[in-house]
Amino acid sequence: MTHRRYWIYFLLFLFNAICYLDRINMSVAGRSVAQEFALSPVALGYLFSSFLWAYVVMMLPGGRLVDSLGAHRMAAIGAAVWSIAQMLSGAATGFVSILLTRLGLGVGEAPTFPVSYRSVRDWAPYTERGVAVGCIQAGTLLGPALSAPLVAWLIEATSWRWSFVVTGVVGMVWVAVWVVFVSTPERTTWLPEAERQRILAERHAGEPPERHGGIGYAGLLRSPSMWGLAISQGCAVYTVYLYLSWLPNYLQTARGLSIVNSGLFTSVPFFVGAGLIVLTNWIGDRILTPGTMRNGRRRIVVVACLLLSSAGLAIPFVDSLTALVILTILPISFGGTATATNAALCNDLLRSQADSGRAFAFMVLGGNVFGLLAPIVTGYIVQATGSFAAAFMLAGVLSLIGAVVSFTLTRHTLGEETPMAVGAMRAAG
């Protein structure tokens, strides 16, 4: 049996890596941008967070578009929009103009995770769901790991402006490759017929999916699991975005590292996390059966990851740079792994293909409502206290809260049309 579907996983891995390359570009360049435009820590926090405002606003419409246009089309559209916005950041003349380009980045990146998770549902046999999501989402950690030092070098060698132009071009190259080679499993011509039939037969855990047209956002929001997924995702994403946005700046200002060295030290926990995110989800696939998947037992992996992520609480109490880097590995690696495993859990609990884009969009929306607050809240904390200590501790506490929420709420199916649900929808309609 061939495994050409792995090329889809690889292209989606690059899709996520480029997405996060463009996000961390601003984190590494933030000090240079702040110096040129005379920005305070609070203003810089808003700039770090700004792309998430548009990202959050467009998330639910983006999920609906993924369901209607297909993941393969929305991947190309989203990447093209965000890459153009990224290149335009290099031409910014002040705070307002660069803020606008960051909003454009958010509009383009809004469908990224619904596209990725829906693609796994379309392309992966159920025995590969966890590892497929893990491999794809490893790009969200490996992207920053590789790009932080490269962007830092590029800024040192040229300027912060050229770093945005170059990273934007990388995204446009990806769009060209995707458009030429990728469609749906049913229509992709380079996929061998035997492999196509296996994907179509096994992608719903060996059981036929619900054939109704979906229960929509209103139906999904009546499920405690949908709220459990969204809130626990938010607690994990808050942690990841705190470190993604502020770690280079923290290393430069609080620890006295150069731009290049801060990029190198930032890359270490993201490198480790990229490996852990794949390994953890591979183990989950090996130990779970179709029955335990459908019953939501993957939540135990999510809970364990969030508990390990809370180790960031100890960061304010270490002085050694080596100890600091080791401690940042836990919240970054396991926070990122929790978000990927949550996506696999959402896939396990989903019953209707027609609801998948919307369910993933709401879960990611929950994540990024928390995520957009992380850079802003951190900016206020740093300005008020002159220290990052309270910011790291807040992220650790949220990880503990997320573990409790995941364990208690994510126990029910999503998008299953039961007689009770049908009656409620008809009454509401």
- The 10s digit of each residue's pLDDT in 268-289 is 888 888 888 888 888 888 888 7
What confidence score (pLDDT) does residue 416 get? Answer: 62
Question: Whole-angstrom Cα distance, residue 74 to residue 86?
Answer: 18
- Does residue 207 fall inside a structural domain? no
- Does residue 80 fall inside a structural domain? yes
Which pair of tokens denotes residue 272? Answer: 């480790």
Question: Whole-angstrom Cα distance, residue 359 to residue 154?
Answer: 39
Residue 426 has pLDDT above 50, yes or no: no
In this structure, what CATH number is given to the domain that contains residue 131? 1.20.1250.20
- Does residue 195 fall inside a structural domain? no
Residue 172 has pLDDT above 90, yes or no: yes
Q: Quick check: 356 and 121 in contact, CB under 8 A? A: yes
- Does residue 205 fall inside a structural domain? no
- Does residue 202 fall inside a structural domain? no
- Does residue 287 fall inside a structural domain? yes
Tell me the residue ranges of DSSP E strands in 35-161. Answer: none
C-alpha distances (whole Å) from 259 to each of 35, 164, 269, 352 are 13, 16, 17, 48
Give the tens place of pLDDT for each residue, 395-412: 999 999 999 999 999 888
Q: Quick check: 274 and 138 in contact, CB under 8 A? A: yes
Residue 213 has pLDDT above 60, yes or no: no
Q: How many CA atoms lie within 13 A of 113 on its CB side?
A: 33
Residues contacting residue 296 through CB under 8 Å, at least 6 positions apart: 225, 345, 348, 349, 410, 411, 412
Rounded to the nearest 10 degrees, the angle between the axes of helix 259-287 and helix 6-37 is: 150
Residue 424 pLDDT level (bands cut at 50, 70, 90): very low
What confidence score (pLDDT) does residue 97 get? Answer: 93
- Does residue 206 fall inside a structural domain? no
Q: What is the mean pLDDT of the chain?
A: 86
SS3 annotation, 323-377? HHHHHHHHHHHHHHHHHHHHHHHHHHHECEHHHHHHHHHHHHHHHHHHHHHHHHH
SS3 annotation, 209-253? CECCCCCHHHHHCCCHHHHHHHHHHHHHHHHHHHHHHHHHHHHHH
Residue 208 has pLDDT above 80, yes or no: no
What confidence score (pLDDT) does residue 422 get? Answer: 40
Q: How many CA atoms lie within 13 A of 52 on its CB side?
A: 27
Q: Find where tokens 């992608």 sit.
A: 203
Give the tens place of pLDDT for each residue, 232-242: 999 999 998 89
Question: Whole-angstrom Cα distance, residue 291 to residue 151?
Answer: 45
Q: Quick check: 108 and 55 in contact, CB under 8 A? A: no
Domain coverage including residue 72: 6-183+214-428
What confidence score (pLDDT) does residue 244 get? Answer: 80
Question: Whole-angstrom Cα distance, residue 247 to residue 145?
Answer: 12
Which pair of tokens denotes residue 148? Answer: 């932080």
Q: Quickly count: other Cβ atoms within 10 Å of residue 232's Cβ.
A: 34
Lowest mean pLDDT among 96-105, 123-132, 180-189: 123-132
Q: Quickly count: other Cβ atoms within 10 Å of residue 256's Cβ.
A: 10
Q: Which residues of 176-197 are buried (b: 16+ CB within 10 A; e: fewer)?
A: eebeeebeebeebeebeeebbe
SS3 state of residue 414 = strand
What confidence score (pLDDT) does residue 280 get? Answer: 85
Report the residue count for the chain: 429
Sign of the Cα torsion 291, 305, 397, 382 reads: negative
- Does residue 146 fall inside a structural domain? yes
Give the chain's domain count. 1
Q: Which amino acid is at 344?
A: A
C-alpha distances (whole Å) from 405 to each of 233, 299, 370, 399, 402 are 10, 10, 15, 10, 5
Residue 352 has pLDDT above 60, yes or no: yes
